[in-house]
Amino acid sequence: MAFAEKLIAVRRAHHLTQEQLAAKLFVTRQAVSRWERGEVTPGIDMMKLIAAVTGEPLSHLLEMPEHYCQSCGMILTPDDCGTDAHGATTDHYCKWCYDHGQYTYDTTMEAMIEDCAPRLAQNTGMSLDEAVSLMGAVLPQLERWRTVQENEERYGAEARARYGDEAVDAANEALLDMDPETWNDMKELERAILGQLSIAMSVGDPESNEARKLIA
What local confidence, expressed as pLDDT, does residue 153 receive? 64
Q: With a cut of 50, which residues of the chain have pLDDT below it? A: 186-187, 201-204, 206-216
CATH 1.10.260.40 applies to domain 3-61: yes
pLDDT of residue 203: 41
Give the pLDDT confidence score for residue 190 in this predicted structure. 52
The reported pLDDT for the residue numbered 125 is 82
At residue 216, the pLDDT reads 43
Please tell me whether the overall predicted TM-score, pTM, comes out greater than 0.75 for this model: no
Question: Can you give the pLDDT at residue 180?
Answer: 58
Q: Which amino acid is at 17?
A: T
What b-and-e string marks burial along 39-49, b requiring 16 or more CB atoms within 10 Å of the CB? eeebebeebbb
At residue 98, the pLDDT reads: 95
Residue 24 has a pLDDT of: 93
Domain boundaries defined on the chain: 3-61, 78-141, 146-215
Structure confidence at residue 48 (pLDDT): 85
Write down the pLDDT at residue 55.
87
Q: What is the pLDDT of residue 209?
A: 46
Q: What pLDDT does residue 15 have? A: 94
